[in-house]
Amino acid sequence: MRVDVIANVDDIRSEDFIQKSAVVIDVLRATSTMITALAKGACGLLPVETVPEAQSKRSKHTFVGGERYYKKIPGFQAGNSPHDYMSEEVAGKLVVLTTSNGTRGLLKSQRASRLLAASFMNGTACASALANFERDVILLCAGCKNEFSLEDGLCAGMIIDALESHLGKPVRLNDLGAAMKLAYRQCRHNLYETVMEGASAKQLVKLGFAHDVEYCTGIDTVPVVPITKKDLILTPLY
């Protein structure tokens, strides 16, 4: 099995996903939020690209949330904090979500055979799923503004580490994958403090979301794996 880690959404083409398993990683905070919403009983997640598209989906069956560069979109029911998706309002609803980077990553990866959303919170569960799919894997770090994000790279390293444990042997890695596996192993016992050194975490702390960084760096705390079905709707993999 081969695993390629991609540094950000612009570093890969849609057709590169064909016949692969793909995992989109946006630890702070889109994929952590998706995992939370499904764990709290949302019936599905629909990532959409634009604000008007999200607004047009508003109904009694949906819960519409999103952000642009860390800020809630006016008129939306929620922002992009996982804590916005823990209420009873979410249960039984289709969550419609538009975010700066995470949703772009999911849309880019649509041609994959299997498409998952991962963060530290479900990393080992994702790795088990990838092992079962028995296909080569692309771990797509959503990043921020076309740049690599530390926490997404470390999460890719965590998934590689868990995948190798699951398989009981090394997987073939691209160079960035090999570097991320090393980086994760160096900081695994110090993950929160390490992620706090990254640009996204610093920005979130500045905006009053330190509790989100803490929540999103919990390892294997919510072992729900969002996976796409038809129409790019993500539901839990059982």
Q: How far is the CB of 173 from a copy of itself (least distance, A)?
A: 7
Q: How far is the CB of 217 from a copy of itself (least distance, A)?
A: 14
Per CB under 8 A, residues contacting a copy of itself are 7, 147-150, 153-154, 173-176, 178-180, 182-187, 194, 197-200
Q: How far is the CB of 190 from a copy of itself (least distance, A)?
A: 10
Q: Which is nearer to a copy of itself, 85 or 184 (CB)?
A: 184
Are 24 and 142 contacting, i.e. CB atoms less than 8 angstroms apart?
yes
Q: Give 20's contacts (C-beta < 8 A, 6+ positions apart).
A: 112, 113, 135, 136, 137, 138
Q: How far is the CB of 51 from a copy of itself (least distance, A)?
A: 27
Q: Give 205's contacts (C-beta < 8 A, 6+ positions apart).
A: 196, 213
For residue 95, what are its two tokens? 């969550």
In whole angstroms, what is the distance from residue 140 CA to residue 137 CA?
Answer: 9
Q: Which is nearer to a copy of itself, 98 or 101 (CB)?
A: 101
Q: How far is the CB of 216 from a copy of itself (least distance, A)?
A: 15
102 CB-side CA count, 13 A: 29
Q: Which is nearer to a copy of itself, 91 or 207 (CB)?
A: 207
In whole angstroms, what is the distance from residue 16 CA to residue 154 CA?
Answer: 22
According to DSSP, the β-strands at 71-72 and 226-228 are: unpaired
Q: Which is nearer to a copy of itself, 178 or 232 (CB)?
A: 178
Q: Which is nearer to a copy of itself, 194 or 228 (CB)?
A: 194
